[in-house]
């Protein structure tokens, strides 16, 4: 009888404890912004030299909406003018998916907070190769012979700027901005090659993808342009999830992104981003960018 009485007395306490536990679980979920299975993308438009802020915003919105409709989740997109604000929102869970260039990914974000995502590529042959190009002149041989020449760059291209700075610090012992006679900014990557072709500039930097497109359109360009330096495996850009985003949800979104080329609207989106297919991306894809950034930091430390 005493045993039954003890059980009866303890039941209310058990019910109360279970109820409190459930309430605490719900409260914790509400306090955890990463528990919400929504796609909340943030992007830094200045990462991509061939696109205006408006172009990237529209493209990323269409992309997230396309994926969101397929998996039945709410999506939001936020454009950032300040990379520090984007990093803070990524860290506190305001956004859970970040889109930017690989060099900004490694220099501005904690790699321990990054997880898998996806990116667009045009072809495997030109995958992630960054080129420094010069006018093909008989008296010029290699990057170090172009000191003091005219440099042209895209309006905003942090990866090319860092690579050029690395080469300039190594060869000339000063920054790229002090190593060339004239620096001009243009809006589109294909304009960079044309300026070399028409003798309006001597040196530029761009991705192999843009170079291939320009050569396809005008094969004569190849005769007047030479590759001065190149570096492989530095992605132009990608989108990665926060590590605290539920793994199952991440996989669902990534799986849908990898199917984009199989759908009409998906192919249109790929064309906007000048890509042919979507591939999985991860922190390992940032290895070469990390090495590039670390090498640049070492050279800066010697100045």
Whether 3 shows a pLDDT value over 50: the answer reads no
Mean pLDDT in residue range 152-162: 90
At 287 the pLDDT is 95
CB atoms within 10 A of CB 83: 17
Confidence (pLDDT) at 88: 97
- Of the pLDDT bands very low, low, confident and very high (cuts 50, 70, 90), residue 149 is very high
Is residue 234 predicted with pLDDT exceeding 90? yes
The alpha carbon of residue 97 and the mean position of all alpha carbons in its chain are separated, in whole angstroms, by 11
- Looking at residue 9, its pLDDT comes to 39
Task: Find tokens 């955890």 and name the residue.
Answer: 32
Q: What is the pLDDT of residues 53-67, one digit of tens each?
A: 677 777 777 778 888
Q: How confident is the model at residue 19 (pLDDT cuts 50, 70, 90)?
A: very low
Measured between alpha carbons, how far is 174 from 303 in angstroms, rounded to an integer? 8
- pLDDT higher than threshold 50 for residue 26: no
Report the mean per-residue pLDDT for the chain. 84
Which pLDDT belongs to residue 303? 66
Strand order in the sheet with 182-186: 182-186, 150-154, 203-207, 130-135, 225-231
The pLDDT of residue 13 is 42
- Cα–chain center distance at 245: 18
Mean pLDDT is highest, among 2-6, 8-12, 135-139, for 135-139
Distance CA 215, CA 190 (A): 10
Q: What pLDDT does residue 27 have? A: 37
Name the pLDDT band for 156 (thresholds 50, 70, 90): confident
Q: Which residues contact 239 (CB under 8 A, 6 or more apart)?
A: 41, 43, 97, 98, 99, 117, 118, 119, 281
pLDDT at residue 29, as a whole number:
42
What pLDDT band is residue 52 in, cutting at 50, 70 and 90?
low
Q: Calculate the alpha carbon distances from 81 to 7, 41, 46, 181 in Å.
A: 63, 14, 8, 30
Beta bridge partners of 131: 206, 230
Q: Is 168 helix (H, G, I), strand (E, B) or coil?
A: helix
Backbone dihedral angles phi then psi of residue 281, each to the nearest 5 degrees? -130, 155
* pLDDT for the residue 228: 96
**Phi-psi group of 148: left, alpha or beta (phi > 0 → left; psi -120 to 50 → alpha; rest → beta):** left
**Which has the higher per-residue pLDDT, 249 or 23?**
249
Q: What is the pLDDT of residue 268?
A: 74
Residue 252, pLDDT above cutoff 90: yes
CA 117 – CA 41 distance, rounded (Å): 11
pLDDT digits (tens, 9 = 90+) for 192-232: 999 999 999 999 999 988 888 888 888 998 889 999 999 99
């Amino acid at each position: 009888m005493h045993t039954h009485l003890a059980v009866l007395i303890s039941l209310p306490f058990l019910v109360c404890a279970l109820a409190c536990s459930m309430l605490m679980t719900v409260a914790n979920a509400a306090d955890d912004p990463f528990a919400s299975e929504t796609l909340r993308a943030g992007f830094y438009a200045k990462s991509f030299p061939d696109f205006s802020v408006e172009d990237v915003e529209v493209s990323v919105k269409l992309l997230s909406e396309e994926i969101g409709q397929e998996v039945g989740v709410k999506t939001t997109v936020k454009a950032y003018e300040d990379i520090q604000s984007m990093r803070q929102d990524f860290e506190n869970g305001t956004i859970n998916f970040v889109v930017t260039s690989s060099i900004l990914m490694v220099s501005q974000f904690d790699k321990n907070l990054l997880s898998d995502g996806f990116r667009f590529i045009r072809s495997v042959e030109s995958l992630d190769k960054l080129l420094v190009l010069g006018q093909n002149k008989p008296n010029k041989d290699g990057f170090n012979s172009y000191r003091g020449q005219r440099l042209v760059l895209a309006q905003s291209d942090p990866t090319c700027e860092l690579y050029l700075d690395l080469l300039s610090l190594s060869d000339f012992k000063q920054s790229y901005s002090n190593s060339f006679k004239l620096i001009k900014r243009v809006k589109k990557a294909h304009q960079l090659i044309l300026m070399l072709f028409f003798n309006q500039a001597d040196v530029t930097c761009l991705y192999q993808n843009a170079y291939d497109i320009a050569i396809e359109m005008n094969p004569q360009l190849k005769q007047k342009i030479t590759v001065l330096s190149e570096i492989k495996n530095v992605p132009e850009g990608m989108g990665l999830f926060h590590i605290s985003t539920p793994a199952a949800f991440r996989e669902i979104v990534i799986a849908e992104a990898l199917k984009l080329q199989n759908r009409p609207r998906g192919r249109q989106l790929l064309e906007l981003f000048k890509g042919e297919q979507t591939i999985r991306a991860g922190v390992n894809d940032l290895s070469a960018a990390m090495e590039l950034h670390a090498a640049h930091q070492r050279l800066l430390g010697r100045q």
